[in-house]
């Protein structure tokens, strides 16, 4: 009907010979309403919203509704190290909640952006070595339905901090819940053995299921063999008492002999969690045992490494697990929350789980049993690692969908902006060991493609469950990994390495390691563009529906080198019933919307900092507009910032 009205108006203008200015159609206020109560939209991390007020036809009218600046940004010159504002806000009970890189928790009026309260944990740990910027990706909400608890802290916000504490706050006031742990705080370092404060702390949002709050943590990569373990723990939401702990060691493993409660060096769980509340399952994406890039000293602790693990929410026992990489020595840990969905055309309509990995693989599993919904092939891969390594001779490859990322970068693929640049990249590729995906780290230097940042990373995927379509953003860049014999490494000045070049000691092994992106002399990736993509996959057929370049060289390259070649990206997408995919994530300062049907970029807006975060969308009532909100706060590769920006359609 709208198209007929528009055509009639244009025809009338031509007949009368007068000038015509198109008139915006009235805003449709009849559609559904929805909040955004979980980090991933729902507990299953689907990142789908039923809201349909904003569409490809009217998205051009999307403009800033409000902007909030929290002030928690640092560039490394003060007492805090570099920050990245990566939070996805949650919106529940008509309140918006998020955390900053300094672990302050803030509540806003989601309609206006007006501050309601803020809580400052007053961090003791403000800095530390390593490439990681300070960050907090999200918080969790819980509300008690028991009549006896209708007062203070009936609704709670949970957050993890850089000081490795789990904190419970009153959702209405922001005050600590005195009955939770000690004055609202539960320490998370207990039982992990001696370690530096920067080696262990949570960065992703806690997850609430039933009456427990579940939390994992980052463990610093490649520091030492006996790093803090990757235990996942569940605490009572009211008292903070420990309800269960899952120590990711092989079944039947003996207890630690060094006085720790939890085993050292086990796979950590730094990425966001997801859950099936109806079936009482927590889904855990695991990382690598310590260290990441040499596994000769692991002695079996990688049983659950680089896996998706289903835990019983009541007691933490393992219901099933699926390993995406065997004996991972590439830092190809599982970085994304497992996404739950169900569609009649996928696996016969069985409850399904999509698990993306950094290699561009997406494993579709039965979420109740872990059984693959489609064939997975164990393929032979290079098996000759350095002395002391014990590589797996095969690795799992999904067939439906097939890998979404190229598995090899050859000399003839070398890219350059001019012939000299291309020749330089060819020489660099030729000098490296390069046997395709899963080429082992070597003493002479190994080409790793994709690099350990992905492919996909913690932004994960969004899934339209009605259409059975998955949307995934990836970066496309190669890396160089070089193992360095211990005596030679110890003679180096590791502090002299400047990001993105990384030097790691891997203490307790015969090697240290150097890792860096594979760049030309001009500073551009040696692999051909696009360097960032957004891809739509039909989950029923496994086929790619479309792939669009995501991002430009702007804000990284000087003008006039602003090219639509795609860009490295960290963060994720949201898909709506209105037919749009919203995403920031890129190294250029833009927030974008794509038409979910064809991948056309239909809207973009300049933002003050890069949006290395995943957006959220909500509409509180029939009288409200749909809003889309995103954190713009930079990353290690861009200027740190502090902007939370909400968009809505102009009247």
b or e along 316-334 (b: 16 or more beta carbons within 10 Å of the residue's beta carbon)? beebbbbbbbbbbbbbbbb
* Cα(297)–Cα(329) distance, integer angstroms: 12
Contacts 24+ apart (CB under 8 A), 180-187: 180/153, 180/156, 180/237, 180/238, 180/239, 180/240, 181/235, 181/239, 181/240, 182/240, 185/240, 186/235, 186/240
- Quote the CA–CA distance of 641 and 469 in Å, as a whole number: 33
Q: Could you tell me the sign of the dihedral formed by the alpha carbons of 364, 368, 370, 375, in that order?
A: negative
Task: Measure CA 223 to chain center.
Answer: 22
Tell me phi and psi for residue 427, to 5 degrees: -65, -40
Give strand pairing partners of 310.
283, 320
Q: CA–CA separation, 44 vs 638, rounded Å?
A: 31
**C-alpha span between 254 and 66 (Å, rounded):** 55
Beta bridge partners of 285: 308
Instruction: Say whether 331 is catalytic.
Output: yes
DSSP secondary structure, 270-334, as one string? -SPPEEETTTTEEEEE--PPSSSS--TT-TTTTTTTTEEEEEETTT--EEEEEESSSS--S----
Query: b/e string for 485-495 if b means 16 or more Cβ within 10 A?
Result: ebeebeeeeee
Tokens of 123: 């961090």
Are 480 and 448 within 8 A, CB to CB? yes
Q: Which is nearest to 631 in space by CA: 576, 547, 578, 571?
A: 571
Q: Which of 573, 374, 390, 385 shows the shortest CA–CA distance to 470?
A: 573
CB 398 within 8 A of CB 364: yes
- Compute how many other C-beta atoms are within 10 angstroms of the C-beta atom of residue 542: 16
Residues 6+ apart with CB under 8 A from 287: 219, 230, 267, 268, 269, 270, 271, 305, 306, 333, 334
Q: What angle do CA 625, 627, 631 make, to 5 degrees?
A: 160
Contact 530, 566 (CB under 8 A): yes
- Per the listing, tokens 């493993």 go with 253
Distance CA 153, CA 618 (A): 24
For residue 567, which of 499, 445, 477 has the smallest C-alpha distance?
477
What is the C-alpha to C-alpha distance for residues 260 and 345, in angstroms, rounded to an integer? 48
Strand order in the sheet with 352-356: 339-341, 352-356, 362-366
- SS3 for 367? coil
Number of H helices, E strands in the chain: 3, 40
Q: How far apart are the first and last CA of the chain?
A: 20
Choose the catalytic residue: 170, 331, 333, 555: 331
Cα gap 216→284, rounded to integer Å: 9
State the catalytic residues: 331
């Amino acid at each position: 009907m709208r198209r007929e009205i528009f055509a009639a108006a244009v025809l009338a203008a031509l007949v009368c010979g007068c000038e015509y200015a198109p008139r915006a159609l009235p805003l449709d206020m009849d559609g559904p309403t929805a909040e955004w109560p979980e980090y991933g939209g729902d507990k299953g991390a689907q990142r789908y919203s039923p809201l349909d007020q904003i569409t490809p036809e009217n998205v051009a009218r999307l403009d800033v509704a409000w902007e909030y600046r929290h002030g928690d940004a640092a560039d490394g010159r003060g007492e805090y190290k570099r920050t990245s504002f990566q939070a996805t806000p949650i919106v529940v009970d008509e309140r918006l909640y998020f955390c900053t890189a300094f672990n302050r928790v803030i509540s806003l009026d989601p309609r206006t952006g007006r501050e309601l309260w803020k809580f400052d944990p007053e961090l003791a740990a403000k800095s530390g070595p390593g490439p990681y910027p300070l960050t907090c990706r999200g918080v969790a909400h819980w509300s008690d339905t028991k009549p006896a608890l209708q007062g203070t802290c009936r609704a709670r916000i949970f957050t993890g901090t850089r000081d490795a504490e789990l904190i419970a706050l009153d959702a209405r006031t922001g005050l600590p819940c005195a009955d939770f742990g000690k004055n609202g705080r539960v320490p998370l370092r207990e039982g992990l053995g001696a370690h530096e404060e920067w080696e262990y702390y949570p960065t992703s949002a806690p997850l609430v299921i039933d009456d427990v709050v579940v939390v994992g943590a980052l463990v610093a990569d490649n520091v030492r063999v006996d790093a803090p373990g990757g235990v996942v723990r569940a605490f009572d939401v009211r008292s903070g008492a420990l309800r269960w702990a899952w120590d990711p060691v092989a079944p039947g493993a003996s207890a630690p002999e060094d006085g720790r409660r939890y085993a050292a060096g086990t796979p950590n769980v730094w990425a966001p969690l997801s859950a099936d509340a109806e079936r009482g399952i927590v889904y855990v994406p695991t990382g690598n045992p310590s260290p990441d890039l040499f596994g000769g000293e692991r002695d079996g602790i990688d049983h659950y490494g680089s896996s998706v693990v289903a835990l019983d929410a009541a007691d933490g026992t393992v219901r099933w697990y699926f390993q995406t990489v065997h004996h991972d020595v590439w830092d190809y840990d599982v970085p994304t929350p497992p996404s739950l969905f169900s569609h009649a055309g996928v696996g016969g309509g069985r409850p399904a789980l999509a698990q993306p990995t950094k290699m561009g693989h997406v494993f579709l599993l039965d979420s109740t049993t872990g059984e693959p919904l489609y064939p997975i092939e164990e393929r032979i891969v290079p098996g000759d690692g350095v002395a002391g390594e014990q590589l797996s001779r095969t690795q799992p490859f999904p067939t439906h969908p097939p890998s979404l990322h190229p598995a090899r970068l050859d000399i003839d693929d070398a890219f350059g902006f001019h012939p000299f640049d291309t020749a330089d990249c060819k020489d660099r590729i030729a000098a490296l060991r390069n046997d395709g995906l899963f080429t082992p780290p070597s003493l002479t230097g190994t080409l790793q493609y994709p690099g350990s940042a992905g492919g996909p990373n913690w932004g994960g995927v969004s899934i339209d469950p009605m259409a059975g379509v998955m949307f995934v953003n990836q970066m496309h860049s190669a890396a160089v990994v070089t193992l360095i014999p211990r005596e030679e490494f110890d003679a180096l000045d590791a502090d002299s390495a400047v990001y993105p070049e990384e030097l790691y000691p891997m203490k307790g092994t015969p090697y240290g390691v150097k890792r860096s992106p594979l760049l030309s002399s001009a500073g551009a990736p040696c692999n051909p563009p696009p360097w960032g993509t957004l891809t739509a996959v039909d989950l029923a057929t496994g086929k790619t529906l479309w792939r669009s370049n995501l991002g430009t060289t702007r804000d990284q390259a000087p003008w006039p080198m602003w090219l639509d070649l795609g860009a490295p990206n960290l963060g994720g997408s949201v898909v709506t019933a209105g037919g749009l995919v919203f995403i920031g994530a890129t190294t250029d300062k833009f927030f974008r919307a794509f038409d979910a049907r064809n991948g056309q970029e239909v809207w973009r807006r300049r933002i003050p900092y890069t949006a290395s975060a995943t957006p959220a969308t909500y509409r509180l009532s029939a009288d409200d507009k749909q809003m889309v909100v995103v954190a713009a706060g930079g990353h290690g590769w861009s200027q740190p910032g502090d902007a939370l920006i909400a968009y809505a359609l102009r009247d």
